[in-house]
Structure 1
Amino acid sequence: MRHLHIAELRGSWTSWLSVSLTFIVVNWVFAVTASCQAAMDGVALARPDDVMTNDAAIGLNYVISTMVGLLVIGTVTGLVIGSRRGSIARLQLAGAAPRHVVGTLMVQLAVVSLVCAILGDLLALPCVQPVLDAHAANQGMEKIPAAAAPVSILMANLACAAVAMLGGLRAALRATRIPPVEALRQSTAESGKRKGTVGRVVWCGLIAGLVGLIFWATPKVRTMDDEKFAVQSVMQATFFLIPLLATFMAKASPITTGLLTRGWTKLVPGRSGTWHLARNTVLGKMDRLERTVVPVMVTMCLLFSMMCLGQSFEATLEAMGEGGDMAGTDLPGLLLVLGAPLAISVAGGLSALLMMARQRTAELALDEILGATPAQRVQVPVLEATIVTVTAFLQALVVTLVVAAFMRLALPLVLPTFKVVLPTQTMVWVSLVIWLATTACTVLPTLGSLRTPPPRVIARLVAA
């Protein structure tokens, strides 16, 4: 079995390399957070008030990062295992039992997690003190020195590996249930209809219940005697609401992504042949569209909601005639809480786009066989990136509007004057930057195949 594990790892290293950025960033985030928590614990006895304030921020960071990390790692791990269905089918046809196939995939995940954990930890070490300094400056307190925390970092690495193994195990078990001949037939096509509808409905119901509970419990802050604590409670509820809504949209993505994409693309005037080809390619690969849209959508949700929250509190302070910034409402304060999950979602979005590059090159080779010009073969992935970005934008806009509605409900309960701002202009500019990044990750990996004969490009995918 050792030789089989080594051979499969060699054969899949390019796929794992495409998503390694996500694993590295998640390990980096958790290693930095664990080190900061260890430093807080080191000064807990001398400065309990300062530590309590920062413990709350770090705890919230843990919760939000874990939610986003579970979502993103599960998505990119499923993409890799889905791309290896041809190899899995050949192993089964050669006589490998399902447990052997699953074990081979778990070994690959373990090796990738270990390598990425080492890289993430090395990147985390020089970042701990700057993050602690930013916490101290944001809260207006004394400097907290960094402390060595090998045990905490190791536990964070194990947590990331457990998340990756769990996401990979589910995808591996699904892959082994497909008959080998059928898996070979589908290895260059869409991965088929995704399972787990009941589980997604349950998740959506639970998340909707938590969101409803937050809205229901918010008016109770009016009974709090400490005005500052009441304002902080509203902020923390808003911080927690953002990833909850993003997760809800991700779980509902099999329905919402398809409906939104079909709906708005029908409204595009002047449908050229290239647009028709790109639209039908995207809609024909609905599973790929969903997996690609989710990380991009989560990135937009965090950015849009963060800007809405920050600008609303800034406008509220101006309306109240107070100078300065309320702790945690300026850009550095928001980044301390949402910066880590934002980095995870960005890494997941880039990984998902890069992971699907091989499929896109094969599709473009088929387009060339059907008569597409080189210019059209470049335009098709550009249009696909545009469709992904617009669909993600529409879903993120829904989340941002719900967050704005929550602040419209909560701010009057704790502040005499308030103002909720929807930063539409900034959202447009941010969306443009995300579209450029999405386009680059979609188009650039396919340019090399334009000089390769189409049969050779298709043969590479079939052999994967």
Structure 2
Amino acid sequence: MIALIVSDLMMRWRVWFGVLAVTVTSGFVGAHAAGLLETGAFHGGAVQEGLASTSSAVIMFAAITALIVLSSTANLTIALQLRDYALWQLVGVRPALVAVVVLTQLGVIGIIGALVGWLLALPVFPTLFVWVFREWPEMQGVSLHLGIGSGLLVVAAVALTVVLGGLRSARRASRTPAIEALRDAEPPRIRMGWFRIILTVCALGGTTALATTLDGDASMSAFSGQAILLTPLIAAALAAAGPIVFPLVLRGWTSLVPTTISATWFLARNSARYRLSRSSAAIGPLMVAIALAGGLYTTGATLAAAEAVRSGSDAGFDLAPEGVVILLGGPLLLAGVAAAATVFMSGHTREREFALIQAVGSTRGAIVLTAIWEAVAYAVTAAMLGVAATAVGGLVIAGKLSLPGPVIAFPTIGLIAGGGLALLLAATVLPTVTALRTEIPRTLAVE
């Protein structure tokens, strides 16, 4: 079994590289959050109080993002290799052993990736800490702590999340009849598993509880501490219900664009609709990034508007760069890496599709344009969902503050969406151009 695990990881390195990149990033981000907690616990007093309030928001944002991107990447990794698992069964590998091998591979990649991410964070954490807390008097000259114990907890959390995220797909890979998997390597229908159902219920429950307990008459500092978590919870609920929500939104808005405007748009739309596993894995992280950034700035601007109404003067809204970095740096990094990695890791599996399209008369330029349209479809879907989460959170906050409406941070949303689109384009177009360099007969003969 060990030989099978190692040889498959090496042979399918491009697919496994995607989940490795995400686990490395998760370990890197998790190590910084663990460092804040460990440093605060070591010093206690005012240092612990200050770091506790900061680390709680950091952990909240990072945990939501990591849970979404790790589970979606793990599911996509397995979905892209269903054909290989079917071949394993045809040559005599028992279905139960297939599931064990897949989960072991996910665990190994999770441990290695998280460990590498933690090691990369060791030299970065001191510099980042000094820069972020340079204006805090109680943080000056404190000794920083990011020990092996914290590192082991981060590694265990990342590995466990990856394994749990891929559990349903691993069971499906072992239970799917070999002939069925060979006939369709990536089933177009995706379902809500028990893990996602639990996450959706918890996210919706947390969102409802937070929305009902927000008190607009409380002090602005106490209100803002709770309000800042509302949009992330809404985004988490949307992401957890992704197998239901993402296809509906994708099909809805793409149906409004006539397919007659371009043959490449027709191909891209149908490809995005059919490969829902890959579509969801690309849409989810970018949607979360847009909602987190848009929600943070929208909440801040709406609070500033309420304060202006109360005081009778417009003080404006200005979020310090270090606050943005400590709160959103990790989640945005995670979301960007995950969105690009999921598209990159699935690009190799489409070489045969590109060869078939060329064989029936399509040009290379048309195929590249199709890939561009597909990346645009992912980005637009993510932007629509991100705006929806931001708007709903902003409306609730504005209602609690007796304002006519929220101050939605459209420039921030546009910036994150544009950056995500650029990453998706790079991860989509480059593998497509590389795949087109392979000779058509050679590509079609390998199956």
TM-score (norm 2): 0.90
1:280-301 deviation digits (Å, cap 9, x = unpaired)? 2222323332222111211211
Output the CA distance in 1 between the equivalents of 2:445 and 2:294: 42
Q: Which residue of 2 aligns with 1:288?
A: 278
Give, in whole Å, the separation in 1 of the partners of 2:425 and 2:336: 14
**CA–CA separation in structure 2 for the residues paired with 1:292 and 1:163:** 18
Per mean C-alpha deviation after superposition, the further-off stretch among 340-349 and 19-28 is 340-349
Q: Distance in 2 between matches of 1:157 and 1:201?
A: 25
Q: Is the 8 A contact 1:315 1:419 kept in 2?
A: no
In structure 1, distance between residues paired with 2:435 and 2:426: 15
2:430 maps to 444
Report the AA paired with residue 299 of structure 2: L
Instruction: Answer yes or no: is the 8 Å Cα contact 1:34–1:149 preserved in 2.
Output: no
The alignment partner of 1:194 has SS state of coil
Identify the residue that residue 110 of structure 2 maps to in structure 1: 113
- Of 331-340 and 16-25, deviating more is 331-340
Q: What secondary structure sits across from 2:229 in the alignment?
A: helix
Aligned counterparts, 1:375-454, within 5 A: 375-411=365-401, 420-454=406-440
Q: Which residue is equivalent to 1:209?
A: 205
| Deviation digits for residues 191-224 of structure 1 (CA, Å, limit 9, x no counterpart) | 34223367655543443232222121112x63x5
1:124-158 deviations in whole A, cap 9, x for unaligned? 01222233324533655332321241111111111
Specify the SS of the correspondent of 1:196: coil
Contact 1:316 1:419 in 2 (8 A): no
Q: Which stretch shifts more, 151-160 or 306-315?
A: 306-315
Q: State the distance in 1 between where 2:4 and 2:151 align.
A: 32
Alignment partner for residue 83 of structure 1, among 80, 85, 95?
80
Q: Residue 153 and residue 454 in structure 1: after superposition, are their counterparts in 2 closer, same or farther (change >3 A)?
A: same
Give the secondary-structure state (helix, strand or coil) at the position aligned to 2:389. Answer: helix
The structural deviation recorded for 1:404 is 1.2
Q: Secondary structure at the match of 2:166?
A: helix
Give deviations 1:380-423, integer Å, cap 9, x for gaps.
000001111111111111001012112213445xxxx9994212
5+ long unaligned stretches in structure 1 = none
Where in structure 2 are there 5+ consecutive unaligned residues?
none
Confirm or deny: 8 A CA contact 2:286 2:417 kept in the other structure: no
Q: Distance in 2 between matches of 1:142 and 1:274?
A: 56
Q: CA deviation at 1:431?
A: 2.3
Q: Contact 2:387–2:413 (CA<8 Å) still a contact in 1?
A: no
Q: How many Å separate the matches in 1 of 2:137 and 2:404?
A: 24
* DSSP 3-state at the match of 1:137: coil
Find the aligned partners of 2:255 and 2:98 in 1 and give their Cα distance: 43
- Go from structure 1 to structure 2 and tell me whether the alpha carbon gap of 1:307 and 1:119 turns closer, same or farther (over 3 Å shift): same
Instruction: Tell me, in whole angstroms, the C-alpha distance in 1 between the residues paired with 2:55 and 2:250.
Output: 37
Provide the secondary structure at the position in 2 that maps to 1:141. helix
Aligned to 2:52: 55
Q: Percent identity?
A: 26
SS of corresponding position for 1:452:
coil
| Structure 2 counterpart of 1:248, from 213, 237, 258 | 237
Q: Partner letter of residue 262 of structure 1?
A: R
Q: Which residue number corresponds to residue 173 of structure 2?
A: 175
Residue type matched to 2:236 in 1? T
- Contact in 2 for aligned 1:20/1:351 (Cα 8 Å): no
Q: Which residue of 1 aligns with 2:13?
A: 13
Query: Partner letter of residue 20 of structure 2?
Result: S
2:33 is aligned to 33
| Contact 2:39–2:48, Cα closer than 8 Å, also in 1 | no
Farther-moved stretch of structure 1 (316-325 vs 425-434):
316-325
Structure 1 contact 234–411 (Cα < 8 Å) conserved: no
Tell me the equivalent position of 1:104.
101
Once residues 163 and 268 of structure 1 are traced to their aligned partners in structure 2, the CA distance between those partners, rounded to angstroms, is 38
In the superposition, the TM-score normalised over structure 1's length comes to: 0.87
Residues of 2 paired with 1:334 and 1:250: CA distance?
Answer: 22
Of 89-98 and 263-272, more deviation after overlay is shown by 263-272
Contact 2:57 2:327 in 1 (8 A): yes
Report what 1:92 is aligned to. 89
2:156 match: 158
In 2 relative to 1, CA 288–113 (structure 1 residues): closer, same or farther, beyond 3 Å?
Answer: closer
Q: Measured at CA, do residues 200 and 167 of structure 1 come closer, stay the same or move farther in structure 2, by a change above 3 Å? A: closer
Does the 8 Å CA contact 1:54/1:135 hold for their aligned counterparts? no
List per-residue Cα deviations over 1:236-289 (Å, max 9, x = no partner).
323322221112111332333223223322333561222222222222323332
Q: Is the 8 A contact 1:275 1:380 kept in 2?
A: yes
Determine helix, strand or coil for the equivalent of 1:147.
coil
Whichever residue aligns with residue 20 of structure 1, its letter is L
Name the count of aligned residue pairs: 443
- SS of 1:207's equivalent in the other structure is helix
Asked if 1 retains the 8 angstrom alpha-carbon contact of 2:188 and 2:275, the reply is no
Name the aligned partner's letter for residue 51 of structure 1.
Q
- Residue 289 of structure 2 corresponds to 299
The Cα of 1:183 is off from its aligned counterpart by 1.3
